Amino acid sequence: MPVNILSLANAVWILFKKDLLCEFRTGYAIGTLLMFALLILSSISMTFSGISLSAELTANLLWMIIFFCSMAGLGRAFLEEQETGTLFTLSIYFRPQAIVLGKMLYNIALLIGLTCLIVPLFMIFLHVDFQLWRELFAVLLLGDIGIGAVSTLMAAMLGGAQGKHSLFTVLTLPIILPQFLSAIHATMTILSGNVPTIQEIAYMLGYDSIMILAGYMLYSFICCE
């Protein structure tokens, strides 16, 4: 059993590095996410310039930016393999579980990097001040993991569908909505100067675990016939 776990971890890491290297060579997803994030931040900044925002509205705006930016780039998780026909080759050399977990790790890492850019710019443009940074980091991390995991699974399911780019956001939102609302509420609590409850953090952690487990268990059935 330890050998199998180690083998799976190595395969996931290899696939993650492969996707990361391909992204650094092309820069498509990173460029798309950055441009989309800057466009939304600039638009919101001009719209709410000089207006004092409530904690509820601020939390909603932050997570809406993160969500729609993720929808602009994370749906391409399996696009390169499908266009070049290399997905079948990957399935020969790697277990299906390793493929989906490697893609999830890549999408999550991409989203965390994007969030690290969005949050400081969000604070500058909208004059927002976060006090409880440790709690905010935990909420952002759990929210990003949930969005990244669901996005990867939905990208795999819609890989061969017509109009998959438009379907991706429409079908992903209902699934991510529970985690999305929890992240907004926890962020609103932090902006109000309070600490999120253990139940809120445990719920977000449980949601992430279920989504990752769902991808691990279902990927071989939906994508590797």
Which regions of the chain are under pLDDT 70? 1-6, 27, 50, 77, 79-85, 159-166, 221-225
Q: Count of CB atoms within 10 A of residue 92's CB?
A: 6
The DSSP string of the chain is -HHHHHHHHHHHHHHHHHHHHHHHHH-HHHHHHHHHHHHHHHHHHHHSTTPPPPHHHHHHHHHHHHHHHHHHHGGGTTHHHHHHT-HHHHHHHS-HHHHHHHHHHHHHHHHHHHHHHHHHHHHHHHT-----HHHHHHHHHHHHHHHHHHHHHHHHHTTT-TTHHHHHHHHHHHHHHHHHHHHHHHHHHHHTT-PPPHHHHHHHHHHHHHHHHHHHHHHHHHH--
Going from N- to C-terminal start, the domains of the chain cover 2-223
pLDDT confidence of residue 163:
52
| Residue labelled with tokens 């932050």 | 62
Q: Which pTM was predicted?
A: 0.87
pLDDT tens across 112-164, in order?
Answer: 998 998 999 888 888 888 888 899 999 999 999 999 999 888 888 876 555 56
Q: Which two tokens stand for residue 224?
A: 């590797």
Q: What is the pLDDT of residue 2?
A: 45
Residue 220 is encoded by which pair of tokens? Answer: 């071989």
Q: Which two tokens stand for residue 217?
A: 């268990």
Span 202-213, pLDDT tens digits: 999 999 999 999
Single-letter amino acid, residue 79: L
Q: Would you state the pLDDT for residue 3?
A: 41
Confidence (pLDDT) at 206: 95
